[in-house]
Structure 1
Amino acid sequence: MKILVNTGPAHPLYFPVVGLAWALRAAGHEVLVAAPENWDAVVRGSGLPMAAVSGSIEMRDVMGKDRAGNPLKFPESHDQMGGMTGAGFARLAEKTLDGTVDLVASWKPDLVVAESYSFATAAIAAKVNGVPWVKHTVGPGDLPIVSALNAELAPELARFGLDRLPEADLVIDNTPPLLGDSIAGAQPMRYVPYGEPGLLPEWVLRPRTKPRLLVTLGSVQPQAGGLPVLVQLLKALGTLEAELVVAVADFLVPQMGQLPDSVVAAGWQSLTSVLSGCDAVVHHGGPGTMMTCLTHGLPQVVIPGMGKPLSAIGRLAEFGAIRRIEPRDLTPELLLESTGALLADESYGERAREVRDQIAQLPSPADLVPVLEKLVAK
Structure 2
Amino acid sequence: MRVLFVAAPGVGHLLPAVPTAWAAQSAGHEVRVAATGPSLDMATRLGLAAVEVSDGTAAHAYRRLAERGMAARPEAHDLSTAWQRFTRPPEPDGGQDGDGSDKAGVDGDGGGADRDGGGNGKDGVVSEMLDVGRRMTDGILRAIRDWAPDLLVFTSFIGGGQSAADQAGVPAVHIGIGMPYPDLSALLPDPPAPPVLTADVCPPSLRPPGAEPGAPLRFVPCNGGGVVPDRLLARPRRPRICVTWGSVLPELGMDETLATTLAALAGFDAEVVLATGSSAASTGRPLPHGVRQVGWVPLTAVLPDCAAVVHHGGSGSTFTALALGIPQVVLPQAADQPVNAQAVLRRGVGTALEKTRPGVAELRGAVERALGDAEIRRACAEVREEIAAMPGPDAFVRRLAAAVS
Write the letter of the residue equivalent to 1:296. L
Q: Are positions 1:362 and 2:390 aligned together? A: yes
More off after superposition, 125-134 vs 311-320: 311-320
- 1:24-72 Cα deviation digits (max 9, x unpaired): 1111000011112664321111111011122223321366596376886
Report the Cα offset of residue 227 of structure 1: 2.7
Report the Cα offset of residue 304 of structure 1: 1.8
Measure, in 1, the Cα distance between the counterparts of 2:40 and 2:339. Answer: 34
Name the structure 2 match of 1:43.
Answer: 43
- 1:75-109 Cα deviation digits (max 9, x unpaired): 22534465333212321222221221122122111
Contact 2:7 2:34 in 1 (8 A): yes
Alignment of 1:214-225 (within 5 A): 214-221=242-249
Measure, in 1, the Cα distance between the counterparts of 2:201 and 2:252. Answer: 27
Write the letter of the residue equivalent to 1:51. V
Gaps of 5+ in 2: 69-95, 115-120
Q: Are positions 1:138 and 2:138 aligned together? A: no
Q: So what's the TM-score if we normalise by structure 1?
A: 0.87
Q: Are positions 1:246 and 2:260 aligned together? A: no
Measure, in 2, the Cα distance between the counterparts of 1:187 and 1:316. Answer: 22
Contact 2:225 2:297 in 1 (8 A): no
Gaps of 5+ in 1: 155-162
The 1:356/1:122 distance shift into structure 2, 3 A limit, reads same
Write the letter of the residue equivalent to 1:100. I
The 1:340/1:256 distance shift into structure 2, 3 A limit, reads farther
State how many pairs are aligned.
364
Contact 1:139 1:287 in 2 (8 A): yes
3-state DSSP of counterpart to 1:250? coil
Write the letter of the residue equivalent to 2:140. T
Measure, in 2, the Cα distance between the counterparts of 1:303 and 1:329. Answer: 8
Contact 1:82 1:144 in 2 (8 A): no
The 1:198/1:310 distance shift into structure 2, 3 A limit, reads closer
More off after superposition, 313-322 vs 222-231: 222-231
Q: Are positions 1:75 and 2:107 aligned together? A: yes
Contact 2:105 2:124 in 1 (8 A): no
3-state DSSP of counterpart to 1:61? helix
Name the structure 2 match of 1:179.
Answer: 206
Name the structure 1 match of 2:140.
Answer: 100
Measure, in 2, the Cα distance between the counterparts of 1:127 and 1:294. Answer: 34
Report the Cα offset of residue 341 of structure 1: 2.1
Contact 1:4 1:32 in 2 (8 A): yes
Q: Are positions 1:128 and 2:131 aligned together? A: no
Report the Cα offset of residue 188 of structure 1: 0.7
Write the letter of the residue equivalent to 1:73. G
Contact 1:38 1:55 in 2 (8 A): no
The 1:270/1:318 distance shift into structure 2, 3 A limit, reads same
Name the structure 2 match of 1:158.
Answer: none
Name the structure 2 match of 1:160.
Answer: none
- 1:128-155 Cα deviation digits (max 9, x unpaired): 22211101111115267345x41xxx3x
Report the Cα offset of residue 243 of structure 1: 1.1
Write the letter of the residue equivalent to 1:24. A
Name the structure 1 match of 2:64.
Answer: 61
Report the Cα offset of residue 170 of structure 1: 0.8
Write the letter of the residue equivalent to 1:249. G
Alignment of 1:129-208 (within 5 A): 129-142=168-181, 145-146=184-185, 149-150=187-188, 154=189, 163-181=190-208, 184=212, 186-208=214-236
The 1:76/1:254 distance shift into structure 2, 3 A limit, reads closer
The 1:297/1:307 distance shift into structure 2, 3 A limit, reads same
Q: Are positions 1:234 and 2:262 aligned together? A: yes
Contact 1:220 1:248 in 2 (8 A): no
Report the Cα offset of residue 328 of structure 1: 4.9
Contact 2:11 2:38 in 1 (8 A): no
Q: Are positions 1:114 and 2:154 aligned together? A: yes
Report the Cα offset of residue 234 of structure 1: 1.6
3-state DSSP of counterpart to 1:209? coil
3-state DSSP of counterpart to 2:309? strand
Report the Cα offset of residue 165 of structure 1: 2.3
3-state DSSP of counterpart to 1:199? coil
Contact 2:4 2:31 in 1 (8 A): yes
Contact 2:253 2:282 in 1 (8 A): no
Report the Cα offset of residue 168 of structure 1: 0.8
Name the structure 2 match of 1:276.
Answer: 304
The 1:266/1:52 distance shift into structure 2, 3 A limit, reads same
Q: So what's the TM-score if we normalise by structure 2?
A: 0.82
What is the RMSD of the two structures over their aligned residues, measured on CA atoms? 2.7
Name the structure 2 match of 1:345.
Answer: 373
Measure, in 2, the Cα distance between the counterparts of 1:15 and 1:91. Answer: 21
Measure, in 1, the Cα distance between the counterparts of 2:102 and 2:204. Answer: 41
Report the Cα offset of residue 222 of structure 1: 5.1
- State the percentage of identical aligned residues: 30
More off after superposition, 21-30 vs 303-312: 303-312
Contact 1:19 1:192 in 2 (8 A): yes
Contact 1:213 1:281 in 2 (8 A): yes
Q: Are positions 1:372 and 2:378 aligned together? A: no
Measure, in 1, the Cα distance between the counterparts of 2:38 and 2:340. Answer: 32
Report the Cα offset of residue 183 of structure 1: 5.4
